[in-house]
Amino acid sequence: MSAGTVELVTVVTVALIFDLMNGFHDGCNAVSTVIYTGALKPRIAIGLSACFNFVGPLVMGVAVAKTIGGIIAAEDATAHLVVAALLGACVWEVLTWLWALPVSSSHALVGGLLGAGLASLGPGGIVWHKVILVFASLLLSPFLGIVTGYVMMRLSRLFFSLMRMDMARADRFYRHMQIISSSWVSFSHGSNDATKVMGIIMIFLAAQHGLRVDDYVHQNGFPYWVILAAASAMGVGTFLSVKSFRLIRTLGERITKLHPINGFSAEGGGALVIQLASLFGLPVSTTHVVTSAVTGTGIASHLGGVSWKVFRAIMLAWVVTLPFCAAVAAIMYLLLNLVW
């Protein structure tokens, strides 16, 4: 087996491990509300989420992958850079799962890329206008999540008022609607998060030909095996998230008291933001959007209905994510150069 083949296998393996961990870590985003409002049993909810996480990237295209792949000057990238970036993100995924914090895999991945990229290529190896675009989308997404969750909650309350529903009837109606909204969150999550991993793999494929990612795709097309592998790893990871009830409890219990109307409103509003971002090739954090949308539904009810202490703790973890992953990735890059 040639050195190039070994590097490719290593990059793809580590990328798919991160993708699987992403699905495992973020599977709770789609299912926490639908489980805690009683709309679906846990295993059914997670199985349905896994299916839609698999289908999402197959249907929605690779715009986000091209954006992520454009952060680094891929023509100068190495296997060490890509693997170090992924390892930096993986460490954070494991730690935050142990701490039961629903943080952003997107921030972790971008932080890892920047840390490894700076360590390997210096500031000149970073495509800064792409970084600014990514930062803008990641920064704006929580606020859009709060707004859409708030608006959807208001519209949902208006609907059941106009229909003259009592609370028991409204709960039954929105439990059924949650099956649709949670499936949409899973579909949009797969379409955005799995494609980020595709972008990482594409950096290495383009580097082997001395090309930027956009140029490589223009000349060779986007390999279907990359799409299928990333979609599969995301689906499997999501299915395994049945073991991650630590995070499901954080979203389902500790941010605000959830009724089916809250769950439907948060999922519908969050999925809308993520889906639009995927269409425009903008990497956003599903965790940011859905957690913020849940908070928005609490605000729409009354401010006292939101556990701001928990929300502040999550926000602090988000702020720490990027520099932590960047530092770990830079250290990983230096270590890989010593041992590999």
CA 321/CA 317 separation, integer angstroms: 6
User: Residue 253: its pLDDT value, please?
Assistant: 47
User: Residue 243: its pLDDT value, please?
Assistant: 60
Least confident range of 32-46, 113-127, 209-223, 246-260: 246-260
CA 142/CA 125 separation, integer angstroms: 29
Helix axes 167-189, 3-36, angle to 10 degrees: 170
Residue 305 carries which DSSP code?
G
How close are the terminal C-alpha atoms of the chain, in Å? 16
Per-residue pLDDT tens for 54-94? Answer: 999 999 989 999 999 999 999 999 999 999 999 999 999 88
The SS3 call for residue 72 is strand
Q: What is the dihedral of CA 98, 115, 24, 67, to 10 degrees?
A: 150
CB 157 within 8 A of CB 261: yes
Q: What are phi and psi of 126, to 5 degrees?
A: -100, 135
Mean pLDDT of 295-314: 68
Q: Measured over all CA atoms, what is the biggest interatomic distance in the chain, rounded to whole angstroms?
A: 70
Is the pLDDT score of 274 beyond 90? yes
CA 107/CA 284 separation, integer angstroms: 9
The rounded mean pLDDT for the chain is 86
The SS3 call for residue 306 is strand
Distances (CA, A) of 179 to 46, 58, 282, 293: 11, 21, 26, 17
Distances (CA, A) of 286 to 179, 201, 223, 250: 18, 21, 25, 15
Helix axes 79-98, 308-339, angle to 10 degrees: 150
Greater confidence (3 vs 203) lies with 203
The SS3 call for residue 169 is helix
CA 259/CA 212 separation, integer angstroms: 48
Mean pLDDT of 225-242: 91
Above pLDDT 90, what percent of the chain? Answer: 56
Q: What is the dihedral of CA 179, 181, 184, 185, to 10 degrees?
A: -110
Mean pLDDT of 102-125: 90
Per-residue pLDDT tens for 150-170? Answer: 999 999 888 888 888 777 788
Mean pLDDT of 255-272: 80
Residue 105 in tokens = 């895999």
Structural element, H or E, at residue 77: none
CB 70 within 8 A of CB 285: no
Contacts of 100 (CB under 8 A, 6+ apart): 246, 247, 249, 250
CB 278 within 8 A of CB 60: yes
Residue 193 buriedness (CB in 10 A; 0-12 / 13-18 / 19+): buried
Residue 289 buriedness (CB in 10 A; 0-12 / 13-18 / 19+): buried
CA 260 to chain centre: 24
Nearest CA among 25, 13, 19 for reference residue 97:
25
Nearest CA among 44, 262, 256 for reference residue 171:
262
